[in-house]
Every structure is written in C-alpha cells, then in structure tokens.
Amino acid sequence: MESLIKRIIALEKISKGLEPSLEERNKYNEELQQFLNDFIDTTEEKKAYYIGEPDNEKLRVNPTKKSLKELLAIYTSEVIEKGINPASGGHIGYIPGGGIFTSALGDMIASVTNEYAGMYYGSPGAVTMESELLDWMMAIFSFPKESVGNLTSGGSIANLIALTAARDKHQIKSERITKSVIYLSPQIHHCIHKAIRIIGLEDVQVRLLELDEGSKIDAKKLKLAIAEDASKGLNPFMVVASAGTTDTGAIDPLKEIGEIAQANKMWYHVDAAYGGFFILSESVKRLFKGIVLADSLVIDPHKGLFLPYGLGAVLVKDKEAVFHSHHYTANYMQDAVTNSQINPADVSPELTKHFRGVRLWLPLNLHGLEPFIACLDEKLLLTTYFRNGLSEIGFKLGPEPDLTVSYFWYPSKGIDENKYNEKLMEIIHKDGSVFLSSTKIEGKFVIRMAILSFRTKKATIDKAIEMIKKCNVQTNKYFNISK
C-alpha cells in the first residue's frame, strides 16, 4: 500500500502540469488577450483570402514543449493566413459564420466550467438555458410551445434530425422506401441530399422541382407533380422548401407550399439555416409568411445571428416522431431519468454534447436584440448597394434576391463568357483583398456574393468594387481584349 501511495504522489506532481497556477493563467490570459486584440484590430487590413498550403511540419504534433507565444505564431502563419479568412468582413463569397467577440467569451465560459448539456440531471441550468433559447426561437417563428428543438453543431445535423423525424412519422422503411417521394428544389442545400442518404433513404424517389424566374419552387407545378405521383400509386410524403437558398438567396413560396403539403398530409420541412433570422427584419418579414406551417424548421444562429461557427438549431412540432429515433435508456443512466424535462440527448444523435447555448445566451443578454436586427437590415441594403455598383461598371446581374445572396458576371465580347468569368474569378482569388466565390446557374458560370458577416460594411463593398474593376482590366489583358 505504501508503494502504491508513493507512485500516486509521484504521478500527481507530473499531472498537476495540466492545472496552471494563478500566475501562469494570468500570463496566458495576457498573451492571449494581446493576440486577440491584434487579430481583431488588424482584420480589415489583411486579405480575406490567402492562396497557399500550410506547413505540415509546423502543425505536426510534437512532444517538445513550446510557449503559448510560439504556438500562436504558428497558428497565425499556418491557419489564419491560409485559405479564407472567415473573420474578415471581406469574406463575402460563402455564407459566413459570424464570430462576434462576446459569443467567444460564452464559449470560453462553457469550456472552462465544462458543464454537460446532454442531460438535465447532469446540469439542469445548462439544459434549461438551452431550452429557453429554443423557446425564444419557437416564439419568433410562431411554433407551438409543445414543439421540441435542439441546438446542434450546424444546419447539417439539424436537417438530419428533422428528416429522420419525417421518415419515422411516415414510417418510410422496407418496401415503402422505393415507392415514396420527396420533393426538392434543385437549389436546395446539398446537406439535404446527404441526410437522405445517411438516414437510409438513398433509394427514395427524389423529384427536383421546376423553378420560376426568381429561382423559387413553382407551387402550381409542385401540386401537379404530387397529384401525378399519387395517381401512379406512389407515396408523396415530404416536401422541403428553402427560406434563403445558397445559390441565389431565394425564399420559396412558403405559405403555398405549406398548404399543399397539409392538403396531401405530407411532412413539410423548411431549411432556413441561412435566411431564417431575417424574419426579424421588418423589411422582408412578409417573405416568411407561411413558415409557421412547417412541421420542422432549421435555422443557424452562426449565420443570421453572427455567432462563430458551431451553432445550428432545429425545431420540430411532433415530439414523438423525434423521440422515436433518439430517445433511448441505459442502465448506467438510470439516475438521470426525468419525466419533467426533455433532455437534449433525447432529440439528437449526440449524447456527449458541448454546452453550445452560452455562445448565444451571453451576447443576446449583453447586447439586446437591436444591434442584431440592425446588422441584418444593413446587409440587405449593402446587397442592393453592391449590385448597383456592379451594374454601373458593366456587369450583368442575376435576379433581384430576396435576401443577401446574389450573383453576377461580365458580358465579355468575343470570348466565351464562362471562360472569361472563370479567369476573372481566378484573378480575384489571387488578389484576395475581398473573397468571392462562384457557382453555376443552369450551366452558366457566375460569380457569387454572400453578404452576411457582421464586419462587412460599406467600405468593404467599395473595396470589393475597386478590386473587381482592377481584376477585370487584368482579365481583359489576359484575353488581349481592347476596349
């Protein structure tokens, strides 16, 4: 026994290295604060996109101890200065996560206190906080109080939960799979297609619907497609609409689609991961009419509420449909059983669950809702401003977007437009001062804007227009085009 105690004490001295002293914590905090302040204060001076590969050797795990300053220097050169800078207001190429500072403080609090947010028994305060946040979202979208929800890592897992509930509610299994039909827009986010595969419905019949001139689902043609499939003995069981498509920022006719789904006793899912929180803006609130008809809804606070990546949300009206897949018990969990609270683990694939709620709860309570709404309104106006500026310098524009995603291209003369705009995109990426992306709309190569970063301001758009003008001149020179 004495030998055992000596070994324990010896190991204790070494393992204490994982618990920094007060002096060490203060030193780390000071160095980290300086690093973060420098990063934030210089973000808009730096590129929004860096071409280059990281140095594997510097990122390789090495048992040799390094100082925090050394490690932060490696992080800067090999992570921050490689690829897209998603914290930059110049990131207007893909729909960005936000990264507001006070949300990061919430993450730090959650990590240090290490609360477990999977079961009410483990941390009733953490679970209650997340439940209150979900109730707040349900009120925004007028979902009934008896609905269930979950704070997820993002839209992909949130959509997975919703589609699983739809599958189980309509008992789509065995021989019913090949006869069942899901109706989607061709512009639906690809995570919907992934979710269909993951939940075992790869052999279901997927109808890609015709869109109108605004890239929205044509509700009349949806109704006809459902009737035709039903007449063939098929089982139309789910339709998925978007409240803000990734390619064009379009909001499908939510009310009309919802009414069609109800008339045909179908599950109606709305993917509002990108656009959902724009319902808070009075200028576009009307576009969300009918979203309350959804059986399930996905929204991403890390998009429309400008939080760092890692927080999505799903709301589902049918609790039993969600419980069917996710609610399980185990002998070792018998102490945690409660009939009064819904455990997050009962409505999600996750049992081990990061306490994500603090990253939203803290900034909402520190700032109030007003600056969030102002930021949404600002992005809508900046989208119009950017489109106007592009038109003035000779670019062609896609249809007027409902939200803040749009696309454009240069109408080159004598050069194939796709080839010209591909080269223009390449030169824009090489410049990197502002990051834009590309997509294809009915085979046409176009350049895409996605304005949602809380740091994107008028000055950012002015910089983008000047960059595009400069890069367009270079593209003209490349193709030897004289104006």
Kindly report, residue by residue over 380-429, the tens digit of the pLDDT.
999 999 999 999 999 999 999 999 999 999 999 889 999 999 999 999 99
Q: How does the average pLDDT of the chain come out, rounded?
A: 94
Mean pLDDT to the nearest integer, 275-296: 98
122 against 181, higher pLDDT: 181
Alpha-carbon dihedral sign for residues 329, 334, 340, 346 = negative
Looking at residue 247, its pLDDT comes to 83
Instruction: Return the ∠ at Cα 428 (arms to 412 and 440), rounded to 5°.
Output: 60
Burial 347-383 (b: 16+ CB within 10 A, else e): bbebbebbbbbbbbbbbbeeeeeeebeebbbbbbebb
311 has pLDDT over 60: yes
Looking at residue 316, its pLDDT comes to 98
pLDDT in tens, 341-368: 789 989 999 888 889 999 999 999 999 9
Banded model confidence at residue 330, pLDDT cuts 50, 70, 90? low
pLDDT in tens, 186-216: 999 999 999 999 999 999 999 999 999 889 9
332 has pLDDT over 60: no
Domains with residue ranges and CATH for the chain: 107-367 (3.40.640.10), 370-478 (3.90.1150.10)
pLDDT in tens, 202-260: 999 999 999 998 899 999 999 999 999 999 999 999 999 999 998 888 999 999 999 99
375 has pLDDT over 80: yes
Of 78, 41, 84, the residue nearest 455 (C-alpha)? 41
Looking at residue 133, its pLDDT comes to 98
Q: What is the DSSP letter of 122?
A: T
pLDDT in tens, 85-128: 999 999 999 988 889 999 999 999 999 999 999 998 889 999 99
What percent of the chain is predicted at pLDDT more than 90? 86
293 has pLDDT over 70: yes
How far is residue 115 CA from its own chain's centroid?
24
331 has pLDDT over 70: no
pLDDT in tens, 76-94: 999 999 999 999 999 999 9
Looking at residue 335, its pLDDT comes to 59
329 has pLDDT over 80: no
What percent of the chain is predicted at pLDDT more than 70? 97
Looking at residue 483, its pLDDT comes to 56
